[in-house]
Structure 1
């Protein structure tokens, strides 16, 4: 397959598409700067030898075996646009060759934080519940409708996980003058203090918070680490807001805690997606539901394309990527968040 002098990009961005993550203008810029070979993730390994040998970037994170990696002689970066690092390549070999693995997941931080804040206010002021009561003709007026209402302002807030999502949420909470405790075992206390939050144990976050936001990615170490004991330790009536991935929670235990009236909760993620029509989460009282839509906004998808173009321009000049988040050799293989099937 003849190649021109433009750098070659293998495009296999599933479940995204080039049209989803690039504006028309940025798509034209991508095509002007690079030779694009569009394929699907399952066909990358079978591409022509010359394509594999000349590929400078892979847009997407298709499975890459050691054998395929050895044929990618010019590869500088794997650019994950799904946002979850996948355990589908020999990371040790990738890093040993100086190949960057980067992700555009930061684009979801603000949209997720904003809707998470919305969930917290909804749960605190019973907005959805009051709307449904009004529609059914059994609303309560004035103070009678605020029996369980509370203020977010000045409350005790706990955040589990302080990556891009947790930090975006912390910025939004500034105006509410909350007292914020954070549990994140992957960060030193000084970084948390630099962001104006108090480092805390998981126990303190759960037992001393009126609102608990879970922003932690799934790893090999934390699957289901929030279960019956953890929910029982929370303050009665506290709000639990799950924004990252369902696998960090024992979901049956969450439904039990909500069903008993001990806590209220909101979740944008579920153990099965789409959720079966007969799943108890669909009818559980005290649970505010959202169909994994927190970050899925066109503005976020288009920011992915901007980040990709800027970082490829840097790497074309033998500079490191700066917009996307770089995978670390110590943690890349420990990530276990499930990739999405629906954009």
Structure 2
């Protein structure tokens, strides 16, 4: 329900494709309304009300279409907050930055959930947990050492991480007890940043060819589309474990399917070029693959932390202070992303 404007700063709440009640607990929404006049557009399907209040908006929670002309009408706008997790190409980011608008994202809210899930997938690939569960349900299980012929330890294994943002760093911290050798490929970071965390800054080729476990966290850009094509996948050692939990566009899935079918390596896949995955997808028949329906980060605790982060940072900004919990988009990078909404 929309509120009546008052002397409090105006916040336009239009979180689609996210849902208001998924990211804001009742307490967080109450706290937001205590400080701001919230124009709640969670259920609004047209732009009339949004455009009416846009000139008075202090902040926009969500990422509606904002070209330069529309932004020029937002004279009081201080923050544009993406609460879905992906920066979409429907905003003139250059115009926003030129107006002094902070572009903020909630990606870090998902990092712990995705990191823990990624670790779980790696252990599953190492020990065949879900595969043997299926075998027992089908009455075809093997016992003790017979069921462990291709099992390996994650402990002291060589690990590769592609992309060292929120997800890569969170996963790296979880790997500390396993005493891995960790090679990291991230062309957006100097080697010193990676080495200060105990990783080894490496090329893509070295990371792939030297790692028994490879985690893919690279973001989708024009440059990274099909980063893992056939020749790149061929660099993986025989029997390697590949964990895909970030952007599907980074991988050539036809090439991936061909190599998995040939038994070159094992994979756990949580992101797909088409979702839902078609019922007749050949990936569903692979025994060396753990299948996951894009669920690594989408848990209640992660969603609700987004609302808390928004309330904390907007409250700080209303006091004339800088936001500290949400992640500020870099003007040099945000326009490069080629992300799609997660439905």
Task: Give the TM interval when normalised to the shorter protein.
Answer: over 0.9
1:230 alignment partner in structure 2: 232
* 1:43 CA drift (Å): 5.6
* 1:86 CA drift (Å): 0.9
TM-score, normalised with respect to structure 1: 0.96
Structure 2 alignment gaps of length 5 or more: none
User: 2 CA distance for matches of 1:163 and 1:97?
Assistant: 27
Contact 1:13–1:41 under 8 Å retained in 2:
no
1:26 alignment partner in structure 2: 28
Change (3 A) 1:99 1:41: farther
Counterpart secondary structure, 2:159: strand
User: 2 CA distance for matches of 1:27 and 1:41?
Assistant: 16
* 1:129 CA drift (Å): 1.1
User: 2 CA distance for matches of 1:66 and 1:232?
Assistant: 45
Q: Indicate yes or no: 2:38 matched with 1:36.
A: yes
Q: Indicate yes or no: 2:151 matched with 1:149.
A: yes
* 38-47 vs 82-91, greater mean Cα deviation: 38-47
Change (3 A) 1:235 1:56: same
1:251 alignment partner in structure 2: 253
Deviations 1:58-94 (A, max 9, x none): 0001111222111111100100000101111111111
Counterpart secondary structure, 1:212: strand
Change (3 A) 1:15 1:200: same
1:101-250 matches, cutoff 5 A: 101-250=103-252
User: 2 CA distance for matches of 1:46 and 1:69?
Assistant: 15
1:287 to 282, 286, 289: 289
Aligned alpha-carbon RMSD (Å) = 1.5
Contact 2:225–2:249 under 8 Å retained in 1:
yes
User: 2 CA distance for matches of 1:50 and 1:207?
Assistant: 56
How many residues align? The count is 341
User: 2 CA distance for matches of 1:287 and 1:293?
Assistant: 16
Contact 1:84–1:105 under 8 Å retained in 2:
yes
User: 1 CA distance for matches of 2:310 and 2:253?
Assistant: 35
User: 2 CA distance for matches of 1:22 and 1:62?
Assistant: 19
Counterpart secondary structure, 2:15: coil
User: 2 CA distance for matches of 1:174 and 1:310?
Assistant: 31
Counterpart secondary structure, 1:47: helix
Contact 1:158–1:182 under 8 Å retained in 2:
yes
Change (3 A) 1:50 1:203: same
User: 2 CA distance for matches of 1:45 and 1:99?
Assistant: 21
Change (3 A) 1:45 1:71: farther
Counterpart secondary structure, 2:220: coil
2:9 alignment partner in structure 1: 7
Contact 1:41–1:61 under 8 Å retained in 2:
no
* 1:141 CA drift (Å): 1.1
Change (3 A) 1:141 1:116: same
* 1:206 CA drift (Å): 0.4
Structure 1 alignment gaps of length 5 or more: none
* 1:39 CA drift (Å): 2.0
User: 1 CA distance for matches of 2:17 and 2:30?
Assistant: 21
Contact 2:19–2:42 under 8 Å retained in 1:
no
* 1:52 CA drift (Å): 1.3
Change (3 A) 1:124 1:291: same
Counterpart secondary structure, 1:84: coil
Counterpart secondary structure, 2:12: strand
* 1:112 CA drift (Å): 0.5
